[in-house]
Amino acid sequence: MGLRNGELRKLFEEAFREIGKRRRAPEIEVGFHPFAGLNNYIKIRDKKAYVKLSDILEDAPRSVHRALAYILVAKLFHKKPAEEFTERYRTYTNSPFILRAIERAQRRRGHKRIIGPRGRTRDLEKAFNKLNRTYFNGELKMPQLTWSVRRTRRVLGHTDRVHNTLVISRTLDDPRVPEFFFEYILYHEMLHLKYPPRRIRGRYYYHTPEFQRAEQRFKYFDQAQQWLEKFVTRR
């Protein structure tokens, strides 16, 4: 059974007094919310602190809630939280039980806007099939493919395992963007399907050495890297 709101409030009051060097903590309103993931927020408004915690943590031990209180209050004061609190929270939230709970919440509560694979000048399904035959012997199972809702330059693609969706930025659906560069970005995301993130000591590594070696097998890898550097810095 988890902590009551009154107990949680005391933990945050303690963190405010210690980190903020205040004899008296502000009025605090704290509660759990059904976020689509492990999200936790704190903000000050009208001299009152509002804390929203993911309901995934509702049954967490008191020590984890205390660690989270110190982490959130430290960030509020632009200070680095103590390593003991960071490690305690990280260890708990990386446990298999919590990871499964996060995935269930994302599937149940999260949603994605799907534009579809056909763009104005390019078709993601055709490109996926071509790259699948060339580099993966046609063995990759096609996820849901879609162009992004907005044109983005910094994030040109991402793979969402929870919703089994591969998204490519609409910025690349442009005849002025070289075909080899568009294919490189799609190939990079396809590699994420073949090489899932590796969990080592509670942390996830997405671009493993195996992933990087496979990425360099792309025929126009060097040209794509040069174009990428220019592309992301171009206004």
Please write the tens of the pLDDT for every residue from 12-39.
Answer: 999 999 998 876 788 999 999 888 788 8
Task: Give me 72's structure tokens.
Answer: 């959130």
Packing angle, helices 83-93 and 96-109, rounded to 10 = 70
Please compute the mean of the pLDDT values over residues 1-17 and round it to a whole number: 85
Please write the tens of the pLDDT for every residue from 125-149.
Answer: 999 999 999 999 999 999 999 999 8
Q: What pLDDT is attached to residue 110?
A: 66
- Residues whose CB is less than 8 angstroms from the CB of residue 203 and which lie 6 or more positions away in sequence, other chains included: 94
Q: What pLDDT is attached to residue 218?
A: 97
Domains delineated in the chain: 5-109 (3.30.2010), 124-233 (3.30.2010.10)
Residue 220 CB burial class (10 angstroms; 0-12, 13-18, ≥19): middle
Cα–Cα distances in angstroms (integers) from residue 80 to residues 225, 231, 232, in the given order:
35, 34, 30
Q: Is the pLDDT of residue 214 over 70?
A: yes
Please compute the mean of the pLDDT values over residues 72-100 and round it to a whole number: 91
Please compute the mean of the pLDDT values over residues 212-228 and round it to a whole number: 95
Percentage of the chain exceeding pLDDT 90? 63
- In b/e form, how buried is each residue of 54-70, taking b as 16+ CB within 10 angstroms? bebbeebeeebbbbbbb
Is the pTM for the entire model greater than 0.75? no
Please write the tens of the pLDDT for every residue from 154-179.
Answer: 789 988 887 788 999 999 999 999 99
Q: Which residue has the higher pLDDT, 56 or 234?
A: 56
